[in-house]
């Protein structure tokens, strides 16, 4: 699978943004297996970009293609299929079902297209240090814990692209490293690409491409 | 492993605003009950009035006359139907035939001879055989024949037996009077005739004393060649005496019609009107309840908006979600409509048993069309629900 952006720019950004950006206004193609790092200071449109790529928002000019198909013409149903089978995401704001337990949050995602067994959930949670939190309500978890739940959730499905929007903003270095390693393993096992947007360069992400937003 | 809705279910916040939910359930139940009962009662009326009133031949025969008013009294020609009026009546599409009752235009005296020593002025009428309910093979007359077969109204015969004892006359059975020769003296146009009449049948339909048409035509020509007053009565033949068009026509023309035969029709019209109104009202209540329910559903979706949005974000299909969210309410719809159907069945049973005393025209089980309507309502509710949820989810 390929992910292509063509002359992309949020409608609320001036054209001048294209001049200094390696993403906005450019024609780029990302392919499976690539490790793409996007360094973006605050306000540069990092979250917008991730939302555009994942199809949450459509207020942009230019084109985004999944393989050869423009996502502009995708229906909600088309996006559902992509999100179930091909594209996964860790959102900056986690987006958990706060009244559900951690396990329920993960199980709701897993049952959609089970790539891993139930046991694997426990294993991943243990690995990221939230094994004891599986039966706690998500709203009782700290941001750091919630972030790790969101990370595990993104890994429970098959994917060709994993989009990361500041996935470690609430994690310390050690926990970030553990999470990163897990994601890298999972991506490698699927020969998937990771598009990782963050405020600054993180040393432990072995990127193959680097862009400044 | 198939996708399960079970973990999704708690995300729908249905628990709040229970009052609104129960109101819509009850409203829907009442509306459906009204609708189903109205349809069933409508069918009951059709079966009772529509089918029961059609006589064995499939037709109703009713006589119509002109109203004799103070202005027209004493002017027999104004109170009779002309040939043109007869033709007009015959031409009406809701009638299957019309025949005039021709009255004797000459003086007639009838007596019972020695056995029944009573003598009275009388009248005779004739009508096409087709319109008479009891026509024996002997009901024929040819010129020169002294014996005349007569068909007498059962009501007249009954009336005789009522006043006979008071007049010192013997009461008689139909068989006895049928064997009795009645002497008819006709007079007019300077001529006299004597005939012997024998009752050959009794008619429940025609309130008259009928003789064969051939006899009366001959007698009128012979004893009253100059008189021609048209027809005082016309018998009409119709499949449905309760037809609104017929009643309208009669009213418009100012004719008199047997009120008893058409009374049923007028009552039927009123009752059917009431139940049609009730049915429409029921339908309105159903629509209102469905609307109320749709508001409730929109509220549920609005309250669960964040969760549903997240599910879509995770890759849940909007169609699958719509189907499952709306499916959740189908058992409630089925339960409501089924309850209404059972209540309708109880109503029908009670109506048949206690109000109609198990009359054969009606059936205790509800009519199949009521069941069809009930099923259609369930399907309609499910579809409107599904479409609403789908629309709501797509707008998230």
What is the tally of structural domains in chain A? 1
Q: Which of A111-125, B119-133, B140-154 has the lowest mean pLDDT?
A: B119-133
Please name the residue of chain B whose CA is at the shortest distance from the CA of residue A94: B310
Please name the residue of chain A whose CA is at the shortest distance from the CA of residue B322: A77
CB contact under 8 A, B1 and A114: yes
What is the residue range of A65's domain?
2-95+158-212
**Residue A83 touches chain B, beta carbons under 8 Å:** yes
Q: What is the pLDDT of residue B50?
A: 58
CA distance B182 to B113: 7
Positive/negative CA dihedral, A63, A68, A70, A76: negative
Strand partners, B149: B198
Q: What is the DSSP string of B95-152?
A: -SEEEEEEEP-SEEEEEETTTEEEEEEE--EE--GGG-S---TT----TT--EEEEEE
Per residue in B218-235, pLDDT (tens digit) is 988 888 887 776 788 888
B317: chain A residues, CB-CB within 8 Å = 77, 80-81, 84
Q: How far is CA B109 from the centre of its chain?
A: 42
Q: What is the pLDDT of residue B230?
A: 78
B394: chain A residues, CB-CB within 8 Å = 76
Closest CA relative to residue B34, chosen from B341, B257, B310, B295: B341
In-domain check, residue A71: yes
In-domain check, residue A187: yes
The answer to whether residues B182 and B127 touch, using CB atoms and an 8 Å cutoff, is no
Q: What is the pLDDT of residue B49?
A: 66
In-domain check, residue A190: yes
Q: Which band of pLDDT confidence, cut at 50, 70 and 90, is reported for residue B14?
A: low
ipTM of the complex: 0.93
Mean pLDDT, each 10-residue run in order, chain A (213 residues): 94 92 94 93 91 94 95 93 95 92 94 93 95 95 95 96 94 93 95 92 86 90
Provide the H-helix boundaries in chain B: 18-45, 83-90, 154-163, 174-178, 213-223, 244-253, 259-303, 305-314, 318-327, 330-350, 368-394
Q: What is the pLDDT of residue B235?
A: 87
In-domain check, residue A66: yes
**Tokens 């159907």 appear where?**
B341
Closest CA relative to residue B342, chosen from B38, B47, B43, B37: B37
**Residue A104 touches chain B, beta carbons under 8 Å:** yes
Q: What is the pLDDT of residue B7?
A: 85
Q: What is the pLDDT of residue B52?
A: 44
Contacts of B243 (CB under 8 A, 6+ apart): B94, B265
In-domain check, residue A207: yes
Q: What is the pLDDT of residue A203?
A: 79
CB contact under 8 A, A95 and B7: no
**Residue A210 touches chain B, beta carbons under 8 Å:** no
A76: chain B residues, CB-CB within 8 Å = 312, 318, 394
Tell me the count of A-B CB pairs closer than 8 A.
Answer: 52
CB contact under 8 A, B314 and A76: no
Phi, psi values for residue A176, rounded to 5°: -60, -45
In-domain check, residue A100: no
In-domain check, residue A127: no
In-domain check, residue A145: no
Can you tell me the mean pLDDT for B98-124? 83
| CATH number of domain containing A16 | 3.40.50.300
Burial of B74 (0-12, 13-18, 19+ CB in 10 A): exposed
């Amino acid at each position: 699978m390929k992910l292509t952006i063509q002359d992309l720019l949020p409608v609320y950004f001036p054209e001048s943004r294209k001049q200094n950006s390696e993403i906005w206004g450019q024609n780029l193609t990302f392919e499976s297996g690539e490790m793409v790092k996007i360094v973006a200071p605050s306000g540069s449109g990092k979250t917008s970009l991730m939302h555009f790529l994942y199809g949450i928002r459509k207020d942009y000019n230019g084109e985004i293609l999944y393989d050869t198909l423009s996502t502009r013409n995708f229906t909600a149903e088309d996006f559902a299929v992509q999100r179930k089978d091909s594209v996964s995401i860790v959102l900056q704001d986690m987006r958990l079902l706060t009244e559900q337990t951690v396990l329920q949050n993960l199980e709701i995602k897993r049952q959609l297209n089970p790539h891993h067994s139930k046991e694997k959930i426990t294993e991943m949670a243990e690995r990221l240090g939230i094994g004891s939190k599986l039966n706690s309500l998500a709203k009782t978890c700290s941001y750091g814990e919630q972030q790790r739940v969101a990370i595990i959730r993104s890994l429970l499905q098959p994917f060709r692209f994993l989009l990361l929007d500041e996935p470690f903003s609430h994690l310390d270095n050690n926990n970030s490293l553990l999470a990163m390693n897990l994601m890298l393993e999972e991506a490698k096992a699927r020969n998937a690409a990771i598009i990782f947007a963050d405020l600054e360069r993180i040393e432990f992400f072995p990127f193959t491409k680097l862009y400044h937003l | 492993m198939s996708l399960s809705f079970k973990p999704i279910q708690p995300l729908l916040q249905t628990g709040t605003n229970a009052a609104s939910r129960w109101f819509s359930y009850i409203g829907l139940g009442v509306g459906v009950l009204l609708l189903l009962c109205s349809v069933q009662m409508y069918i009951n009326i059709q079966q009772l009035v529509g089918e029961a009133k059609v006589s064995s031949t499939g037709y109703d025969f009713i006589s119509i006359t002109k109203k004799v008013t103070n202005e027209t009294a004493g002017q027999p020609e104004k109170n009779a139907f002309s040939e043109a009026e007869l033709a007009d009546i015959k031409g009406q599409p809701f009638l299957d035939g019309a025949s005039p009752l021709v009255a004797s235009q000459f003086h007639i005296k009838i007596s019972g001879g020695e056995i029944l020593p009573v003598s009275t002025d009388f009248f005779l009428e004739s009508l096409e055989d087709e319109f008479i309910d009891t026509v024996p093979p002997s009901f024929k007359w040819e010129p020169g024949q002294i014996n005349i077969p007569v068909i007498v109204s059962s009501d007249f015969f009954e009336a005789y037996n009522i006043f006979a004892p008071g007049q010192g006359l013997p009461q008689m059975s139909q068989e006895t009077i049928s064997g009795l020769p009645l002497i008819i003296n006709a007079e007019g146009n300077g001529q006299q005739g004597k005939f012997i009449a024998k009752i050959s049948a009794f008619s429940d339909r025609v309130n008259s004393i009928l003789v064969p048409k051939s006899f009366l035509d001959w007698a009128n020509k012979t004893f009253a060649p100059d008189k021609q007053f048209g027809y005082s009565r016309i018998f009409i033949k119709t499949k449905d005496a309760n037809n609104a068009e017929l009643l309208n026509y009669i009213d418009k023309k100012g004719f008199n019609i047997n009120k008893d035969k058409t009374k049923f029709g007028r009552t039927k019209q009123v009752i059917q009107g009431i139940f049609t109104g009730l049915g429409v009202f029921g339908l309105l209540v159903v629509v209102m309840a469905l609307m109320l329910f749709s508001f409730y559903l929109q509220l549920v979706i609005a309250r669960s908006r964040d969760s549903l949005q997240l599910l879509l974000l995770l890759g849940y299909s909007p169609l699958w979600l719509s189907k499952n969210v709306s499916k959740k309410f189908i058992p409630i719809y089925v339960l409501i409509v089924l309850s209404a159907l059972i209540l309708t069945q109880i109503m029908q049973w009670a109506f048949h048993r206690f109000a109609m005393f198990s009359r054969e025209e009606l059936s205790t089980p509800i009519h199949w069309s009521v069941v069809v309507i009930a099923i259609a309502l369930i399907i309609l509710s499910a579809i409107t629900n599904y479409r609403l949820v789908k629309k709501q989810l797509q707008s998230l």
